[in-house]
Chains A and B, each alone.
Chain A
Amino acid sequence: MALPPLLLQTAGSLAAILALAGLARWLKLGAAPLLDSDDAVRLAVGEVEDGFDPVTIARDTGSRAAVARDAQGQIMVIKRHGNRYAGRVLMPTAKARLWKDRGFTTLEVDCGEARFGKVFLDLPDPDAWADAINQLKQSRDA
Chain B
Amino acid sequence: MPDFNPTQYAVPLFVVAVLAEMLWAKFRAPEAYEPKDTLVSLSFGLGSTLAGALLGGLALALMFLAYDYRVVDFGPEWWALWWAWPLCFVLDDLAYYWSHRAGHRIRWMWAAHVNHHSSQHYNLSTALRQSWTGNLTIGILFSLPLVLLGFHPVMIAICGGFNLIYQFWIHTEAIKRMPRWFEAVMNTPSHHRVHHATNPRYLDRNYAGVFIVWDRMFGTFEPEVDGEPIRYGIVKQLGSFNVLWAVFHEWIGMITDIWRSPWRHKWSYLLREPGWSHDGSRETSDMIRAKWQARVGADVAPAATSVATRNPIAASGEAA
Partner-B contacts on A (CB < 8 A): 6, 9-10, 13-14, 16-17, 20-21, 23-25, 27-31, 33, 47-48, 50-51, 79, 81-88, 115-117
Contacts and interface: CB of A to CB of B under 8 A. Distances in A.
A84 B22 contact: no
B183 interface: no
Given A16-B15, A23-B22, A83 B53 contact: no
A69 B280 CA distance: 23
B244 to A, nearest CB: 10
A101 B31 CA distance: 35
A50 B35 contact: no
The interface residues of chain B, by DSSP majority, are classed as helix
A115 B125 CA distance: 23
B245 A115 contact: yes
B59 interface: no
A82 B242 contact: no
A82 B120 contact: yes
Tell me the interface secondary structure of chain A in the complex. Answer: mixed
B31 to A, nearest CB: 5
B6 interface: no
A14 B15 CA distance: 12
A25 B42 CA distance: 14
A54 to B, nearest CB: 15
B46 A17 contact: yes
B70 interface: no
Contacts of B258: none
Residue among B18, B35, B37, B46 with max Cβ neighbours from chain A (10 Å): B35
A82 B37 contact: yes
Interface string B46-58: 1001100100000
B22 A27 contact: yes
Contacts of B125: 20
Given A9-B49, A79-B239, A84-B121, A24 B38 contact: yes
Contact of A31 (B11, B31, B43, B239): B31
